[in-house]
């Protein structure tokens, strides 16, 4: 199953929300193609923009490092939008 994680969930993850962080951390740790964490470019750039505005270098590094390690799969959905999936 693919999970599309939106900006709000990533923000709560980075804020260490006790309801969000353990669940997303578990999915990220699995690195299983059956349970891919999918992102769309706008979410990535929204996160980076917000973190850069706050000068939050630690989380900027986390976001860039995590997505740099991912196998990036580009595909077009039925609306013509590109989505990027992080898989193992």
In whole angstroms, what is the distance from residue 31 CA to residue 35 CA? 7
**pLDDT per residue over 22-70, tens digit each?**
988 887 777 665 567 777 778 888 999 999 999 999 999 988 887 776 6
Q: Put residue 2 in one of left, alpha, beta given phi > 0 → left and psi -120 to 50 → alpha.
A: beta
Give this prediction's pTM: 0.71
Domain count, the chain: 1
Which domain range does residue 7 map to?
3-87
Burial class (CB in 10 A: 0-12, 13-18, 19+), 15: exposed
Q: Quick check: 71 and 63 in contact, CB under 8 A?
A: no
**pLDDT per residue over 22-33, tens digit each?**
988 887 777 665
């Amino acid at each position: 199953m693919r999970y599309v994680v939106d900006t709000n969930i990533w923000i709560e993850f980075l804020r260490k929300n006790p309801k969000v962080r353990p669940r997303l951390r578990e999915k990220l740790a699995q690195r299983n193609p059956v349970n891919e964490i999918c992102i769309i470019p706008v979410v990535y750039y929204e996160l980076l923009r917000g973190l850069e505005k706050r000068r939050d270098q630690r989380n900027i590094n986390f976001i860039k490092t995590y997505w740099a390690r991912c196998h990036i799969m580009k595909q077009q959905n039925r609306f013509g939008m590109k989505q990027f999936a992080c898989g193992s």
